[in-house]
Structure 1
Amino acid sequence: MSMASQVASGTGPSSLGLSLLLLLLHLSPEGISGHSASLPPGCLMMGLLKASCQGLGLRTFPTALPLTVAHLDLSHNRLQVLQDNATRDQPDLRHLDLRGNQLEGLAPGSLLPLRWLHALVLAGNSLNRRYVSNSQALWPLSHLRLLDLSANHLESDMVSFYVANRSSLWSLDLSNNLITRLARSTFLGAPKLLDIDLSDNYILQIEAGAFEGLLQLRELSLARNSLHCISDFSLRALWRLNLSFNALQFFATEEGNWSYQLQVLDLSHNQLRAMPTPLALPHLHHLNLSDNRLTSLGPHSPSSPRDPEMVPTQSASDPAADLPELTDLDLSRNQLDRLPVGFLSQLSALQRLSMGWNCLQNMSVQQPGPGPPLLSLRSLDLQGNRIQTFPSWVFEILPGLRALDLGDNELQLCARPEAGRAGPFQGLRQPFGSAFHLKHLSLSRNGLRRLCATRLPPALLFSLDLSGNPGLALVPGDFRGLQHSLHELSLRGNGMASAHLGLPCLWELRALDLSGNQLASLPQSLNCSPSLHSLDLRRNLLQALDTEVLGAHLRSVFLAGNPFLCCSLGWLATLASANVSVPDSEEAWCVYPGGERGSRAPLARDHSHLCNRWQWRGTQAGWVLLAVIGLFLGSCGATALLQNSGKLPWARQLRARPKPEPEHKPTLGRESVVERREPEQK
């Protein structure tokens, strides 16, 4: 919210007295009876002073509202024309929201009763069609502070009609229109403007003096337009200026004795090729130059336009010398190939520097000369470069550095004796050996496979990010000196197996991210992390949790994406009894024995009845299997016995005995008789 809108919606002494008066009226019997009885169908009271009739399909202004209403929301209805005296029943309105209707016309007397109106929101309508008569309907609003005309298809010449006779206006929103040019007379009718939003237009030209009469202007947004050059920036009272997403190739301030008050300048997403000069901005705190084409931060700017008429008078001084209060500088996504030590040494108040996604490579060859300057940086972002070596001299010139982001680089921490050399740090001291005050370090997405012992910073490190390094293997010695300082550790997305996760006892560890790995069990070293509060175990291979290795102070654990066994969830009840929350329990699943199709189920469901069936099936299957095995062994034994029966002594004796002559017994049959058979002659 802009400064003017905050003031417009604030309550002063007169507003407080009015509110008390309305409260007394509301508490009277007439007020109480009228409060609920006169409320139109579908409208809601939001407290005592605010009514909302949003999105009810209304085609006319509601005529029956409580007298206490000071803030009325009629947005997203179907109002097309606001007729004369449409607002006569609400003379005490302070804020009226008509955005998102189909308004084309405002009758001359439609807003006449609202003489105390402070804020009028007309965004998202079609007020370009009758802009002359519509603008005249705003003239009676002598106390209007905020006017929102965004997304009304307004063209350049229409704006001055709506701004005319607006001497009380503080905040003006003209964003998302069709404005291509700002004339010198555009804002003459509103000399008290504090902030103007002109973003999302098609502005190509700003005539000289277009903002000249706005001596109180504090905030100006020209983002997402088509500006190519700002050669005589003269708004010395301005606090915030947004010129992002244009086509600027040149930006320069005027030279003079009266200093600029600018505190925030956004020049991101333009086509600047070097640091704008001169930048006589002694009060500037935040400067955003990201997403440009910067190749140099020197005093001579190669980004000057070729047209000599567009080149203002410039001094050859260092552009950083005129930025004594700059604390935040964003140079990310440019084409810088080295750390600008000389430029940064002039910024005595600089605290945060972002140089991510540039062209930095081997920083060991960029060592400054003898007696390098000491910089006051506390946060340095170097992610997204191609840095392979990070020498210790960086920390020598940045003694107060607290946070360092080296993610998305090609950093090498270990020597490579197999390649026939001592590694990229040959002849250099350990890269983090001088990082005595570093507390936050990110080495994510560097292709790291190992962390060499004693390569990490000394004992003050608070958080360490080693995520996105597939194939990383850790041993307890990699964290030497960090056992009593490390509070946050991220090993996300490394594909680590349990055997490669060698963690020491991290006594002060508070948050551990192990998601996106291949862990089948938890490291036993979690036993000696008594302060562990948050544990992320998503997307691993865990079938159960060993709750004995979890710290007693664990508060939350994330579990989704693991193949937990539905019939072995005793650990889940243990977590619940210890008041450990599982925020993603609705997304977590488990599987039943056998892994058959359809055996997956939500983890949070009651699985007792299904697990009993699985256990019964398992018991029945076991008995059946034992029976089959017994029959098989018995048949095999009988077969072997029959095959070897001729070799047994008792079988030979039976064969030696003469066979008795069988008796002749008739056999019942149809027409046959059993013939006698003579005994065989031996």
Structure 2
Amino acid sequence: MAFPKHSILQALSVLLLAWVLVHCQAPLEAEEEKKEKPLKETDTAPEVTKSEPIDCPPDCSCTAEGTVDCAGVNLIEFPAGLSDKTRQLSLQSNKLEKIPAGAFNNLPNLRELYLQNNLLSNEGMDNGTFSQLTRLECLDLSNNNLSVVPKGLPRNLVLLHLEKNSIRLIPGDALTPVRNLEYLLLHNNKLRSRSIHPNAFQGLKKLHTLHMYNNLLERVPRSLPRRAKTLMLLHNHISEIGRNDLSILYSLTELNLSYNKLTSSKLHREAFRKLRFLETLELSGNSLHSMPLGLPRSLQVLEIKNNKLNSIPDGVLMGMEKLRKLILSNNQLKLNSVYQGAWMELTALTTLDLSGNQLSHIPSDLPESLEYLYLQHNRISSVPSSAFEGTPKIKGIYLRPDTLQVCGNLVCGSLHNFPFHAN
């Protein structure tokens, strides 16, 4: 089965867009407002009444609920006259180069701020630019001209977009005050491992999703947030993973290291030993020649396509009773590359992709749980009638019929419907 190289990034973009639409874009409903935390005694921010009209800057559109939309109106200066009842401010897709001091001083109720697709630089903002936005939860600064993660970020941020800039540096004190941060998106920048301060993520106990793909990282950054659940490091220059590089990430459920420069000799056999909750591991697009040792037994999805795999060592799949999906397409596997009984050990496996390898026959030790088997672009020239007797749940078998010379009664009649299906 062919997988587009950028399908992973597209899927991530769709998931992230869905999250933003639900959590950032939609105005708060009355029931949600009831659940908001009460104001502190020192917080004198006025309550927002939805029925009251708000002042609206020229060229913008506004609603009584506190939404101000100034997106794509060719602004070159920050708009004046914003109402203190503003809850959502959209300034994306303009030509803003700077944010003047005090621009947000009169916006105590602002929850969402969209500044993506402008010309903002670090020089165009000072450390106090966002300091007055004590209620801000969503800040989007993506696709600007930032070179450093800005300081003085709002302390109550939950979602921070910094992707698609030219960020080269994360100082030690830029993110640490943002204790409520849950989503941090730093992909498509120019970050190197040595330019990330060792304390950059210290204290971010709520941060569970970190995207750092499409950067220039040579190694897994040190001192990553301990409670991170999703870590995206694909499309970097990572060439080595040491024994302890991932050891503090004991809460990880999803790790993507695809399309780096990893080799089997530089991937420590105990690198994954602490990842006891890991469910999805992606190592595609590297230069691995052997299935990694010490894989977490908690894995449900394992993808190692587009490598140089020619060996699955004895016992490497033993105990992986939760694995449902195994993608090993476009490697160099032969029948004798895999130890006898390897597939049979995967008692929960439903999808096995061995397409684009060098198999000469259909494996004889397929698990009973298997539903989908991908074998196209191998060297298989015959299919015995007994090939799938041990897989009663099989729903889809994918082969290239034009390469088959001999087949049993089970599949011959269906080969004209490519890809054929056997039940």
TM-score by length of 2: 0.80
Q: Which runs of 5+ in 1 are unaligned?
A: 300-317, 413-423, 433-454, 458-462, 469-481, 487-682
Aligned to 1:524: none
- The code of the aligned residue for 1:465 comes to N
1:51 aligns with 2:68: yes
Whether the aligned pair in 1 keeps the contact of 2:217 and 2:238 (CA below 8 Å) is: yes
1:282 aligns with 2:301: no
The CA distance in 2 between the partners of 1:198 and 1:24, in whole Å, is: 37
Distance change >3 Å, CA 46–CA 389, structure 1 → 2: farther
Instruction: State the secondary structure of the residue aligned to 2:343.
Output: helix
Decide whether the 8 Å contact of 1:85 with 1:112 is kept in 2.
no
| Partner Cα distance (2:230, 2:22) in 1 | 14
1:360 deviates by: 2.2
| 1:406 corresponds to 2:405 | no
How has the CA–CA distance of structure 1 residues 356 and 467 changed in structure 2, closer, same or farther, with 3 Å as cutoff? closer
Q: Which residue of 2 aligns with 1:521?
A: none
Q: Residue 293 of structure 1 contacts residue 335 of structure 1 at CA under 8 Å; is this kept in 2? A: yes
What are the Cα deviations for residues 496-528 of structure 1, in whole angstroms up to 9, with x where unaligned? xxxxxxxxxxxxxxxxxxxxxxxxxxxxxxxxx
Deviation at 1:163, TM superposition (A): 1.9
CA distance in 1 between counterparts of 2:308 and 2:273 reads 31
Q: CA deviation at 1:230?
A: 1.8
Aligned to 2:135: 116
> Tell me, what secondary structure is at the counterpart of 1:353?
strand
Equivalence for 2:324: 327
Q: Is the 8 A contact 1:64 1:89 kept in 2?
A: no
- Name the CA distance, whole Å, in 1 between partners of 2:137 and 2:322: 36
Q: Which of these two proteins has the greater Rg computed from alpha carbons?
A: 1
The 8 Å contact of residues 160 and 181 in structure 2, kept in 1 or not, is answered as: yes
Once residues 331 and 349 of structure 1 are traced to their aligned partners in structure 2, the CA distance between those partners, rounded to angstroms, is: 17
Shift of residue 203 of structure 1? 0.6
Q: In 2 relative to 1, CA 47–201 (structure 1 residues): closer, same or farther, beyond 3 Å?
A: farther
- Which of 272, 281, 285 pairs up with 1:265? 281
Distance 1:184 1:283 in 2: 29
Query: Percent of pairs identical after alignment?
Result: 27
Change in 2 beyond 3 A, CA 1:246/1:408: farther
Aligned match of 2:387: 394
- Larger proportion of helix: 1
Counterpart contact for 1:5–1:171, Cα < 8 Å = no
Spell out the pairing of 1:505-516 with structure 2 (5 A cutoff): none
Change (3 A) 1:51 1:323: farther
Name 1:151's counterpart in structure 2.
Answer: 164
Deviation at 1:43, TM superposition (A): 2.4
Counterpart residue identity of residue 430, structure 1 = N
CA RMSD of aligned residues (A): 3.5
Say whether residues 1:456 and 2:408 are aligned partners.
no
Q: Is the 8 A contact 1:26 1:68 kept in 2?
A: no
1:194 aligns with 2:208: yes
CA contact (8 A) 1:123 1:152 kept: yes
1:24/1:220 CA distance change after superposition, 3 Å:
closer
Provide, for residues 182-225 of structure 1, a one-character-per-residue CA deviation record: whole Å limited to 9, x for no partner.
55333225343211111101111236x522xx232111010100
1:96 and 1:336, CA in 2 relative to 1: closer, same or farther beyond 3 A?
Answer: same
**1:26 alignment counterpart:** 50
- CA shift, 1:64, in A, is 3.2
Q: Secondary structure at the match of 1:220?
A: strand
For residues 366 and 103 of structure 2, the distance between their equivalents in structure 1, rounded to whole angstroms, comes to 69
Query: What does the per-residue CA deviation read over 1:270-289, in whole Å, with 9 as the maximum and x for residues that have no partner?
Result: 1111110011x222111111
The one-letter code sitting in structure 1 at the alignment partner of 2:164 is A
Q: 1:560 maps to what in 2?
A: none
- Is this contact kept in 2: 1:127–1:154, CA < 8 A? yes
Distance apart, 1:378 and its partner CA? 0.7
Q: Tell me by how many angstroms 1:385 deviates.
A: 2.2
Alpha-carbon distance in structure 2 between the residues aligned to 1:256 and 1:231: 10
Q: 1:609-624 maps to which residues of 2 (within 5 A)?
A: none
Measured after TM superposition, the shift of residue 170 of structure 1 is: 1.6
What secondary structure sits across from 1:287 in the alignment? strand
8 Å Cα contact 1:106/1:137 also seen in 2: no
What code does the residue aligned with 1:154 have? I
Query: Residue 167 of structure 1 is aligned with which of 168, 179, 200?
Result: 179
Report the CA distance shift for 1:386/1:66 in structure 2 as closer, same or farther (over 3 A): farther
Distance 1:329 1:160 in 2: 39
Does the Cα contact within 8 Å between 1:385 and 1:409 map onto a contact in 2?
Answer: no
Distance 1:324 1:382 in 2: 23
Ranked by relative contact order (alpha carbons within 8 Å, sequence separation 6 or more), the top structure is 2
SS across alignment from 1:395: coil
How far has the Cα of 1:264 moved from its partner? 0.9
CA contact (8 A) 2:273 2:294 kept: no
- CA apart distance, 1:142: 1.8
* Contact preservation (8 Å) 2:349, 2:367: no
**Hey, what does 2:309 align to over in structure 1?**
294
After superposition, the Cα gap between the structure-2 partners of 1:359 and 1:109, relative to the gap in structure 1 and judged at 3 Å, is same
Q: Describe the shift of the 1:256–1:149 C-alpha distance in structure 2 as closer, same or farther (beyond 3 A).
A: closer
Gap runs ≥5 in structure 2? 1-14, 37-44
Give the total of aligned pairs: 387
Q: In 2, distance between residues paired with 1:120 and 1:262?
A: 29
Q: Which residue of 2 aligns with 1:126?
A: 145
CA contact under 8 A between 1:383 and 1:409: conserved in structure 2? Answer: no
Amino acid at match of 2:114: D
Letter in 2 for 1:273: H
Following superposition, the deviation at residue 263 of structure 1 comes to 0.8
